[in-house]
Amino acid sequence: MSTTPVSRSLVRPRRGRMIAGVCAGLARRFGVTPTTVRAIFLISCLLPGPQFLVYIALWVLVPEEDEG
């Protein structure tokens, strides 16, 4: 069971992120741990495809969490 709170919207958190917060935001959105999402991303990088482009696009398009 995950201790990460599930969020209804996709935002990049200010805390708990490593690079841009994309994996942490996806983890929070879907209710899994950030480590799981990061591992899936790293494993997917072994396959052909636009993983890095998708990550960069999410970095640019997904808003950062409000400070409040």
Distances (CA, A) of 66 to 6, 11, 47: 16, 9, 34
pLDDT band, residue 4 (cuts 50/70/90): low
- Whether this prediction's pTM lies above 0.75 is answered by yes
DSSP annotation of 24: H
Domain range enclosing 4: 1-68
Of the candidates 8, 63, 9, 5, the residue with the CA atom closest to the CA atom of residue 34: 5
Report the DSSP beta bridge partners of residue 12: 64
Give 59's contacts (C-beta < 8 A, 6+ positions apart). Answer: 12, 20, 22
Find the angle CA(1)-CA(44)-CA(58) to the nearest 5 degrees.
80
Q: What is the pLDDT of residues 9-48, one digit of tens each?
A: 899 999 888 899 999 999 999 999 999 999 999 999 999 9
Instruction: Report how many domains make up the chain.
Output: 1
